[in-house]
Amino acid sequence: MKKLFVMIILFTSLLYSQENQDKILTGNLFFDTRITYLETASNVRSEYQTIESQKKSPLLSGLLSLAVPGAGQFYSKRYLKSIIFIVAEVAAITVGLIYDKKGDEQTISFQNFALSHWDVKRYAKWTIKNANSINPLVKVSEYNVFDINGNVVWSELNRLENAIGKYYSHRLAPFKDQQYFEMIGKYPQFNVGWDDFGDENTPFSYGDPLTQKFLYYSKERGKANDFYNIASTAVIVIFTNHILSAVDAAWSAASYNKALNISSEIKKVDFGFSTFYYPQLNLQYSF
């Protein structure tokens, strides 16, 4: 019976040695404990580094949201904030595109109205006819406002406007220029060019009421400006959304890292006459 017991012990020891053949133990309690400690400490460091890799980079988070609002928040696992910034971006872009298109359509509409009802020749003829009534010192014969084909010579018209002065506070911008379409519906001197004013024989008097077409055109042009203003505001919102999202994303990443509480330690347990060491990793995340 004693022989059998001894054989069992030897067989068990052999198996244990086979399972731990990759571990180098000396048989000395002090050195074996040291080896075990270093091995477990190495495992703890590995575990700790793995957790460290889960921390978020505030710089990367901020750059992501600067490029695409909400991306940095998603990276930092702030999903609700991510959705808010993304929705704001999409909404601003949509509003900007819609109202920019409305502005373009409205611009085409009021410009077509102007081309149909305001005529530079009518304006030039009335100016020549009534120049002396406004400023007696002007010598109209010195200005060749029309060429031999009956077309308006713009430079001569501007020169005559400049000479008249007073009521003529502005010089008509080149045909179809942006300022051209603005002036004819903004300044009273161009009231005479609308087809519901009359012709060059219509007498001049200061304070003449603006024609209905002048007023209608001015209102339509104002609508286009309102549409463009909304589109411009949407662009400002988009730009602001990128900046705010980037700042918030960096802050969110930093907050995430602070909320990630990690600690590790080597636990010592005495069991009978033996002492055991094992690693303990504590991970706490505060929402």
Residue 63 has pLDDT above 50, yes or no: yes
Q: Give residue 27's pLDDT.
A: 52
Is the pTM higher than 0.75? The answer reads: no
Q: Give residue 186's pLDDT.
A: 93
User: Average pLDDT in the 51-63 region?
Assistant: 80
Residue 16 has pLDDT above 60, yes or no: no
Q: Give residue 5's pLDDT.
A: 39
Q: Give residue 229's pLDDT.
A: 97
Q: Give residue 22's pLDDT.
A: 45
66/23: higher pLDDT: 66
105/262: higher pLDDT: 105
In percent, the amount of the chain with pLDDT more than 90 equals: 57
Q: Give residue 23's pLDDT.
A: 47
CB 252 within 8 A of CB 61: yes
Residue 14 has pLDDT above 50, yes or no: no
Residue 21 has pLDDT above 80, yes or no: no
Residue 28 has pLDDT above 80, yes or no: no
CA nearest 167: which of 204, 113, 196? 204
User: Average pLDDT in the 109-122 region?
Assistant: 96
To 10 degrees, the CA torsion angle through 147, 150, 154, 156?
50
Residue 32 has pLDDT above 70, yes or no: no
CB 237 within 8 A of CB 250: no
pLDDT (tens digit per residue) in 181-192: 999 999 999 999
User: Average pLDDT in the 193-210 region?
Assistant: 81
CA distances from 93 to 89, 199, 234 (A): 6, 48, 7
pLDDT (tens digit per residue) in 217-250: 999 999 999 999 999 999 999 999 999 999 999 9
Q: Give residue 53's pLDDT.
A: 59
136's tokens? 């007696």
Query: d(Cα 254, Cα 73) in Å, to the nearest integer?
Result: 11
User: Average pLDDT in the 271-286 region?
Assistant: 51
pLDDT (tens digit per residue) in 141-171: 899 999 999 999 999 999 999 999 888 999 9
pLDDT (tens digit per residue) in 102-111: 999 999 999 9
